[in-house]
Amino acid sequence: MSTMEKAIGVGVNAWVWTSPFDRESVSLVAKAAAMGFDAFTVGVEDPDLIDVDALRGALAEHPMRLHISGVFGPNRDLTHEDSRYRKESLEYIKRTLEICGQLGVTTLVGPAYSAVGKRRKIPEEQRIREWELAVTGLTAAGKMAADFGVTMALEPLNRFETDLVNTAAQVKRMVQDIDLPSVKIHLDTFHMHIEEQSVYDAIVLAGEDLVYVDASESDRGTPGKGQVHWGEVARALRDIGYTGDCIIESFTPACEEIADAAAIWRPLAPSQDALAQDGCRFLKELLG
Protein backbone atom coordinates (compact mmCIF):
# COMPACT_ATOMS: atom_id res chain seq x y z
CA MET A 1 0.00 0.00 0.00
CA SER A 2 1.44 3.39 -0.98
CA THR A 3 1.94 6.04 1.66
CA MET A 4 -0.76 8.09 -0.10
CA GLU A 5 -3.42 5.41 0.40
CA LYS A 6 -5.58 5.37 3.51
CA ALA A 7 -5.99 2.01 5.20
CA ILE A 8 -9.44 0.55 5.71
CA GLY A 9 -10.25 0.62 9.41
CA VAL A 10 -11.54 -2.31 11.44
CA GLY A 11 -14.14 -1.75 14.13
CA VAL A 12 -16.63 -3.53 16.34
CA ASN A 13 -20.25 -2.93 17.31
CA ALA A 14 -21.12 -2.89 21.00
CA TRP A 15 -23.89 -5.38 20.16
CA VAL A 16 -21.21 -8.07 20.17
CA TRP A 17 -21.37 -7.79 23.97
CA THR A 18 -24.49 -5.95 25.08
CA SER A 19 -27.88 -4.41 24.36
CA PRO A 20 -29.19 -1.84 25.01
CA PHE A 21 -26.19 0.45 25.22
CA ASP A 22 -26.22 2.41 28.48
CA ARG A 23 -23.84 4.04 30.96
CA GLU A 24 -22.45 0.68 32.11
CA SER A 25 -21.74 -0.25 28.48
CA VAL A 26 -19.26 2.63 28.13
CA SER A 27 -16.53 0.37 29.56
CA LEU A 28 -16.62 -1.52 26.25
CA VAL A 29 -14.76 1.36 24.62
CA ALA A 30 -11.63 0.49 26.60
CA LYS A 31 -12.08 -3.22 25.84
CA ALA A 32 -12.37 -2.59 22.09
CA ALA A 33 -9.38 -0.25 22.08
CA ALA A 34 -7.26 -2.82 23.92
CA MET A 35 -8.15 -5.41 21.28
CA GLY A 36 -6.74 -3.13 18.59
CA PHE A 37 -9.91 -1.86 16.93
CA ASP A 38 -9.84 1.42 15.04
CA ALA A 39 -13.56 2.17 15.36
CA PHE A 40 -16.53 1.48 17.59
CA THR A 41 -20.26 1.50 16.81
CA VAL A 42 -23.03 2.17 19.30
CA GLY A 43 -26.62 1.19 18.59
CA VAL A 44 -29.09 3.67 20.07
CA GLU A 45 -32.07 1.63 21.18
CA ASP A 46 -33.11 4.32 23.65
CA PRO A 47 -31.60 7.82 23.36
CA ASP A 48 -32.29 8.39 27.07
CA LEU A 49 -29.80 5.65 27.96
CA ILE A 50 -26.87 7.22 26.14
CA ASP A 51 -24.54 8.98 28.58
CA VAL A 52 -22.87 11.43 26.22
CA ASP A 53 -20.38 12.77 28.75
CA ALA A 54 -19.23 9.31 29.83
CA LEU A 55 -18.89 8.15 26.25
CA ARG A 56 -17.00 11.28 25.27
CA GLY A 57 -14.63 10.78 28.19
CA ALA A 58 -13.99 7.14 27.33
CA LEU A 59 -13.17 8.04 23.73
CA ALA A 60 -10.81 10.79 24.87
CA GLU A 61 -8.94 8.20 26.93
CA HIS A 62 -9.13 5.48 24.26
CA PRO A 63 -9.31 7.26 20.89
CA MET A 64 -11.31 5.46 18.20
CA ARG A 65 -13.66 6.59 15.46
CA LEU A 66 -17.23 6.41 16.72
CA HIS A 67 -20.27 5.54 14.61
CA ILE A 68 -23.91 5.55 15.66
CA SER A 69 -26.45 2.98 14.47
CA GLY A 70 -30.14 3.68 14.45
CA VAL A 71 -32.53 1.03 15.77
CA PHE A 72 -35.87 0.78 13.99
CA GLY A 73 -38.55 -1.18 15.80
CA PRO A 74 -42.29 -1.25 15.04
CA ASN A 75 -42.88 2.33 16.23
CA ARG A 76 -40.07 3.71 14.07
CA ASP A 77 -41.40 3.18 10.58
CA LEU A 78 -41.25 5.82 7.86
CA THR A 79 -43.47 3.63 5.65
CA HIS A 80 -46.29 3.21 8.15
CA GLU A 81 -49.77 4.15 6.90
CA ASP A 82 -50.39 6.01 10.17
CA SER A 83 -48.59 9.37 10.09
CA ARG A 84 -48.14 9.19 13.88
CA TYR A 85 -45.53 6.44 13.47
CA ARG A 86 -43.78 8.27 10.63
CA LYS A 87 -43.57 11.34 12.84
CA GLU A 88 -42.26 9.26 15.75
CA SER A 89 -39.57 7.81 13.50
CA LEU A 90 -38.39 11.27 12.42
CA GLU A 91 -38.37 12.44 16.03
CA TYR A 92 -36.20 9.46 16.96
CA ILE A 93 -33.84 10.17 14.06
CA LYS A 94 -33.55 13.79 15.17
CA ARG A 95 -32.73 12.77 18.75
CA THR A 96 -30.12 10.34 17.46
CA LEU A 97 -28.62 13.04 15.23
CA GLU A 98 -28.42 15.30 18.28
CA ILE A 99 -26.37 12.60 20.02
CA CYS A 100 -24.14 12.40 16.94
CA GLY A 101 -23.65 16.15 17.09
CA GLN A 102 -22.76 16.08 20.78
CA LEU A 103 -20.18 13.34 20.19
CA GLY A 104 -18.76 14.61 16.91
CA VAL A 105 -20.01 11.52 15.08
CA THR A 106 -20.34 12.01 11.33
CA THR A 107 -22.05 8.75 10.32
CA LEU A 108 -25.50 7.50 11.34
CA VAL A 109 -26.12 4.04 9.89
CA GLY A 110 -28.88 1.45 9.67
CA PRO A 111 -32.15 0.60 7.88
CA ALA A 112 -33.87 3.92 8.58
CA TYR A 113 -36.43 3.50 5.79
CA SER A 114 -38.75 1.08 7.63
CA ALA A 115 -39.27 -1.06 10.71
CA VAL A 116 -37.05 -4.13 10.95
CA GLY A 117 -39.10 -7.30 10.66
CA LYS A 118 -41.70 -5.76 8.35
CA ARG A 119 -41.93 -8.38 5.59
CA ARG A 120 -45.11 -9.15 3.67
CA LYS A 121 -46.43 -10.12 0.29
CA ILE A 122 -48.24 -6.94 -0.72
CA PRO A 123 -49.66 -5.47 -3.96
CA GLU A 124 -47.20 -3.57 -6.12
CA GLU A 125 -49.24 -0.38 -5.69
CA GLN A 126 -48.77 -0.56 -1.93
CA ARG A 127 -45.06 -1.24 -2.28
CA ILE A 128 -44.67 1.80 -4.52
CA ARG A 129 -46.57 3.88 -1.98
CA GLU A 130 -44.36 2.68 0.86
CA TRP A 131 -41.23 3.36 -1.20
CA GLU A 132 -42.46 6.91 -1.77
CA LEU A 133 -43.17 7.34 1.94
CA ALA A 134 -39.65 6.13 2.75
CA VAL A 135 -38.10 8.53 0.24
CA THR A 136 -40.16 11.43 1.58
CA GLY A 137 -39.25 10.66 5.19
CA LEU A 138 -35.59 10.08 4.44
CA THR A 139 -35.39 13.30 2.47
CA ALA A 140 -36.54 15.13 5.59
CA ALA A 141 -34.13 13.08 7.72
CA GLY A 142 -31.27 13.69 5.31
CA LYS A 143 -31.80 17.44 5.50
CA MET A 144 -31.71 17.24 9.30
CA ALA A 145 -28.54 15.14 9.10
CA ALA A 146 -26.86 17.77 6.94
CA ASP A 147 -27.63 20.40 9.59
CA PHE A 148 -25.72 18.28 12.10
CA GLY A 149 -22.84 17.56 9.70
CA VAL A 150 -23.83 13.88 9.64
CA THR A 151 -24.12 11.43 6.75
CA MET A 152 -26.95 8.91 6.99
CA ALA A 153 -26.02 5.53 5.51
CA LEU A 154 -28.96 3.30 4.52
CA GLU A 155 -28.62 -0.45 4.99
CA PRO A 156 -30.32 -3.13 2.88
CA LEU A 157 -31.53 -6.07 4.98
CA ASN A 158 -32.22 -9.64 3.93
CA ARG A 159 -35.69 -10.82 2.91
CA PHE A 160 -36.46 -12.18 6.38
CA GLU A 161 -36.06 -8.73 7.96
CA THR A 162 -37.60 -6.37 5.40
CA ASP A 163 -39.54 -6.47 2.15
CA LEU A 164 -38.49 -2.99 0.99
CA VAL A 165 -34.72 -2.79 0.46
CA ASN A 166 -32.81 -6.07 0.16
CA THR A 167 -30.01 -5.42 -2.34
CA ALA A 168 -27.32 -2.94 -3.27
CA ALA A 169 -29.24 -2.13 -6.44
CA GLN A 170 -32.34 -1.23 -4.44
CA VAL A 171 -30.51 0.93 -1.92
CA LYS A 172 -28.62 2.65 -4.75
CA ARG A 173 -31.96 3.53 -6.35
CA MET A 174 -33.33 4.80 -3.04
CA VAL A 175 -30.28 7.01 -2.50
CA GLN A 176 -30.66 8.34 -6.05
CA ASP A 177 -34.35 9.05 -5.46
CA ILE A 178 -33.51 10.98 -2.26
CA ASP A 179 -30.69 12.79 -4.08
CA LEU A 180 -29.00 14.41 -1.10
CA PRO A 181 -25.24 14.41 -0.42
CA SER A 182 -26.02 13.58 3.23
CA VAL A 183 -27.66 10.21 2.39
CA LYS A 184 -25.35 7.37 1.35
CA ILE A 185 -25.04 3.56 1.57
CA HIS A 186 -24.28 1.04 4.33
CA LEU A 187 -23.68 -2.58 3.28
CA ASP A 188 -23.57 -5.66 5.53
CA THR A 189 -21.87 -8.85 4.35
CA PHE A 190 -24.35 -11.01 6.30
CA HIS A 191 -27.30 -9.65 4.34
CA MET A 192 -25.30 -9.61 1.10
CA HIS A 193 -24.42 -13.29 1.55
CA ILE A 194 -28.15 -14.04 1.43
CA GLU A 195 -29.34 -11.57 -1.20
CA GLU A 196 -26.55 -10.80 -3.67
CA GLN A 197 -25.47 -13.03 -6.55
CA SER A 198 -22.04 -11.38 -6.39
CA VAL A 199 -20.74 -9.56 -3.35
CA TYR A 200 -18.04 -8.02 -5.54
CA ASP A 201 -20.56 -6.59 -8.00
CA ALA A 202 -22.77 -5.31 -5.18
CA ILE A 203 -19.94 -3.36 -3.57
CA VAL A 204 -18.78 -1.97 -6.90
CA LEU A 205 -22.34 -0.88 -7.68
CA ALA A 206 -22.52 0.99 -4.36
CA GLY A 207 -19.24 2.61 -5.36
CA GLU A 208 -18.52 6.09 -4.05
CA ASP A 209 -21.84 6.11 -2.17
CA LEU A 210 -20.56 3.38 0.18
CA VAL A 211 -19.51 4.95 3.49
CA TYR A 212 -19.94 2.11 6.02
CA VAL A 213 -19.54 -1.69 5.95
CA ASP A 214 -20.61 -4.31 8.46
CA ALA A 215 -18.11 -7.18 8.26
CA SER A 216 -20.50 -9.91 9.42
CA GLU A 217 -20.04 -13.62 8.90
CA SER A 218 -22.66 -15.81 7.23
CA ASP A 219 -23.72 -17.23 10.61
CA ARG A 220 -23.20 -13.93 12.48
CA GLY A 221 -20.18 -15.54 14.13
CA THR A 222 -16.46 -14.81 13.84
CA PRO A 223 -15.48 -13.20 10.52
CA GLY A 224 -13.39 -15.65 8.54
CA LYS A 225 -15.00 -18.75 10.04
CA GLY A 226 -18.03 -18.99 7.72
CA GLN A 227 -19.01 -18.78 4.07
CA VAL A 228 -18.76 -15.08 3.19
CA HIS A 229 -16.52 -14.54 0.15
CA TRP A 230 -14.05 -12.37 2.03
CA GLY A 231 -11.50 -12.23 -0.78
CA GLU A 232 -14.13 -10.71 -3.07
CA VAL A 233 -15.16 -8.26 -0.36
CA ALA A 234 -11.58 -7.05 0.07
CA ARG A 235 -10.96 -6.86 -3.69
CA ALA A 236 -14.12 -4.84 -4.28
CA LEU A 237 -13.39 -2.41 -1.45
CA ARG A 238 -9.93 -1.80 -2.85
CA ASP A 239 -11.23 -1.41 -6.39
CA ILE A 240 -13.69 1.34 -5.39
CA GLY A 241 -11.11 3.07 -3.21
CA TYR A 242 -13.07 2.55 0.00
CA THR A 243 -11.39 4.26 2.96
CA GLY A 244 -14.06 3.83 5.64
CA ASP A 245 -14.37 1.26 8.39
CA CYS A 246 -15.41 -2.38 8.35
CA ILE A 247 -17.29 -3.10 11.56
CA ILE A 248 -17.80 -6.52 13.13
CA GLU A 249 -21.51 -6.78 13.87
CA SER A 250 -22.70 -9.74 15.87
CA PHE A 251 -24.95 -10.28 18.86
CA THR A 252 -24.86 -12.11 22.15
CA PRO A 253 -27.56 -14.63 23.06
CA ALA A 254 -27.32 -13.27 26.62
CA CYS A 255 -29.35 -10.19 25.57
CA GLU A 256 -32.73 -11.77 25.04
CA GLU A 257 -34.53 -9.00 23.15
CA ILE A 258 -31.91 -8.43 20.48
CA ALA A 259 -31.06 -12.13 20.31
CA ASP A 260 -34.70 -12.81 19.51
CA ALA A 261 -34.77 -10.06 16.87
CA ALA A 262 -31.59 -11.38 15.22
CA ALA A 263 -32.50 -15.07 15.73
CA ILE A 264 -29.41 -15.83 17.81
CA TRP A 265 -30.32 -19.07 19.55
CA ARG A 266 -26.88 -20.38 20.50
CA PRO A 267 -23.35 -19.12 21.16
CA LEU A 268 -21.58 -18.30 17.88
CA ALA A 269 -18.02 -18.46 19.25
CA PRO A 270 -16.22 -19.77 22.35
CA SER A 271 -16.88 -16.33 23.86
CA GLN A 272 -17.91 -12.88 22.68
CA ASP A 273 -14.38 -11.66 23.41
CA ALA A 274 -12.96 -14.41 21.22
CA LEU A 275 -15.38 -13.52 18.42
CA ALA A 276 -14.24 -9.91 18.51
CA GLN A 277 -10.52 -10.56 18.96
CA ASP A 278 -10.25 -13.31 16.33
CA GLY A 279 -12.41 -11.30 13.95
CA CYS A 280 -10.24 -8.23 14.41
CA ARG A 281 -7.12 -10.23 13.65
CA PHE A 282 -8.67 -11.78 10.52
CA LEU A 283 -9.96 -8.47 9.13
CA LYS A 284 -6.73 -6.60 9.81
CA GLU A 285 -4.83 -9.23 7.83
CA LEU A 286 -7.48 -9.31 5.06
CA LEU A 287 -7.69 -5.55 4.61
CA GLY A 288 -4.19 -4.49 5.54
Q: Catalytic residues, which ones?
A: 155, 249
Q: How far apart are CA 143 and CA 135, in angstroms?
A: 12
pLDDT at position 4 over 70: no
Please state the φ and ψ torsions of residue 10, each to the nearest 5 degrees.
-120, 125
Other C-beta atoms lying within 10 Å of the C-beta of residue 7: 11
Q: List, in order of start, the domains of the chain with CATH numbers.
A: 9-287 (3.20.20.150)
- Is 246:8 a contact under the CB 8 Å cutoff? yes
pLDDT tens across 182-220, in order? 999 999 999 999 999 999 999 999 999 999 999 999 999
Q: Which has the closest alpha carbon to 175: 228, 219, 138?
A: 138
Residue 12 confidence class, pLDDT cut points 50, 70, 90: very high
What is the reported pTM?
0.95
Q: How far apart are CA 191 and CA 274, in angstroms?
A: 23
pLDDT tens across 214-242, in order? 999 999 999 999 999 999 999 999 999 99
